[in-house]
Chains A and B, each alone.
Chain A
Amino acid sequence: MAEIHIIGQILSGKGFPKQNLFCKWSFQYGNNWKVISGRKEGQTQVESSEFDDNCKWCFPIDIHFATRGIQGWPKIYIQVYHLDWLGRSQLFGYGFLTIPTSPGNYVLDCFTWRPFGSLRERFIQFFMGGGPQLKYPDLVFSASDRYKLNTETMGIVTFEINVILRNFQKFGVEYM
């Protein structure tokens, strides 16, 4: 089987309206793919920044996949949350990032969004926090159901990712 290593870090989140952010991440991949070692989901620490709005998580990612086919190339799915002063967490953004299909070192931006509530919901959100969330987070990946959503722009999550392929050439996969 061909193997792929994804090694890198969730560098930072910037452009979010508030600090004290953390990021939940998980890998999504097709049926042919198997995780040999490494975690496929996790959560960063809660980070804030002293002087700007750039929360530098620097959270490591290191995962090793084996695959029988190239269908369902892995994606990283992220949810950014804000932890407020009462210890409540509220959703600040959804997003996903497709892992590049050629080997190399990449710095990639994931642009995030969140559901946009009605006027009444936004009023409550402004004073009380909270806000609408997706009931079925799989909606993030489906291109066919997105039209039902009402969203607003949130910040940018930056990743640094190294992709290393093994034995792809042996199976005749042309990636360069």
Chain B
Amino acid sequence: MSDGTFLLSLSGQIDYISILAGAGSSWHCKYEFVAGPDWKIVGGLEAGLSQTANVVSNGEDIVLNLPIDIVYKSTNLHGWPQIVLSVYSGINLQGYGRSHIPLQPGLHKLNISLSKPQPSSFLGYLGTFFGYQPELLQPKMLASTAGNNLIQMMSSGEVYVTINNVFQGLNILGYDIGRVN
């Protein structure tokens, strides 16, 4: 790429959610990509929603097998893409997770920890007895380094994601990403 841009192509899937899941619950997962201002999507979807996966026996992993395919173009490594996941059981939020897309080419198995916000007021605390679960208005805020100081969160569960990524034109621009493990 002679115009100072490089390409990042990633493809993979959200394999499964590993969380305390009771029999009879049904789960879904939303993913969205967040990247810096210089990053443009050349192909693929920025966000997606999985199918509803039902849990038959207690404690089993919730397989989603949701494909992810996206191609980015950028001039600057700053604002490297991140994936933000929101996991729901029925309509109740069970956790948010985020992770950077791996910065090295090849196959990567990520396990992304989930955490859910805790109520910050007494009323909110009372609400938890009635099944109320606080949610973030914009889960994308988790991907910003600006900080989310006052949010209290409780971590629970993990999402397993497989990602293959390929770069094009990084070395020509003088970048050295190091030895690939």
Residues of chain A at the chain B interface (Cβ within 8 Å): 5, 7-9, 12, 20, 22, 36-39, 42-51, 54-56, 58-64, 83, 102-105, 162-170, 176
Interchain CB contact under 8 A, A60 and B144: yes
Interchain CB contact under 8 A, A45 and B148: yes
B176 beta carbon closer than 8 Å to chain A:
yes
User: With a CB–CB cut-off of 8 A, which chain B residues contact A162?
Assistant: 100, 103-104, 177
Interchain CB contact under 8 A, B147 and A43: yes
> Among residues 90 to 131 in chain B, which have CB atoms less than 8 Å away from a CB atom of chain A?
97-100, 102-104, 112-113, 115, 118
B109: shortest Cβ distance to chain A, in Å? 13
Interchain CB contact under 8 A, A62 and B153: no
A22: shortest Cβ distance to chain B, in Å? 7
Could you give 6 example pairs across A and B, Cβ below 8 Å? A7-B103, A37-B76, A54-B155, A62-B100, A103-B178, A169-B174
User: With a CB–CB cut-off of 8 A, which chain B residues contact A54?
Assistant: 155
Which of B23-31, B42-50, B55-63, B78-86 lies on the face that meets chain A? B78-86
User: With a CB–CB cut-off of 8 A, which chain A residues contact B153?
Assistant: 45-48
Interchain CB contact under 8 A, B143 and A60: yes
A157: shortest Cβ distance to chain B, in Å? 15
Separation of A20 and B79 alpha carbons in the complex (Å): 29
B77 beta carbon closer than 8 Å to chain A:
yes
User: With a CB–CB cut-off of 8 A, which chain B residues contact A43?
Assistant: 147, 149
Interchain CB contact under 8 A, A5 and B77: yes
Interchain CB contact under 8 A, B145 and A164: no
Interface size class of B (residues with CB under 8 A): 35 or more
CB within 8 Å for A60 and B179 given contacts A5-B78, A55-B155: no
Separation of A164 and B79 alpha carbons in the complex (Å): 13
Interchain CB contact under 8 A, B99 and A83: no
CB within 8 Å for A60 and B77 given contacts A103-B177, A105-B178: no
Closest 3 CB pairs of A and B: A104-B178, A103-B178, A56-B113
Interchain CB contact under 8 A, B77 and A45: no
Separation of A61 and B103 alpha carbons in the complex (Å): 13
Interchain CB contact under 8 A, B152 and A7: no
Separation of A63 and B78 alpha carbons in the complex (Å): 7
User: With a CB–CB cut-off of 8 A, which chain B residues contact A105?
Assistant: 102-104, 178, 181
CB within 8 Å for A56 and B175 given contacts A48-B153, A50-B155, A162-B103: no
B154 beta carbon closer than 8 Å to chain A:
yes
CB within 8 Å for A166 and B99 given contacts A48-B154, A56-B113, A62-B145: no
User: With a CB–CB cut-off of 8 A, which chain B residues contact A8?
Assistant: 100
Separation of A62 and B100 alpha carbons in the complex (Å): 10
Separation of A164 and B8 alpha carbons in the complex (Å): 15
Interchain CB contact under 8 A, B143 and A38: no
Interchain CB contact under 8 A, B152 and A20: yes
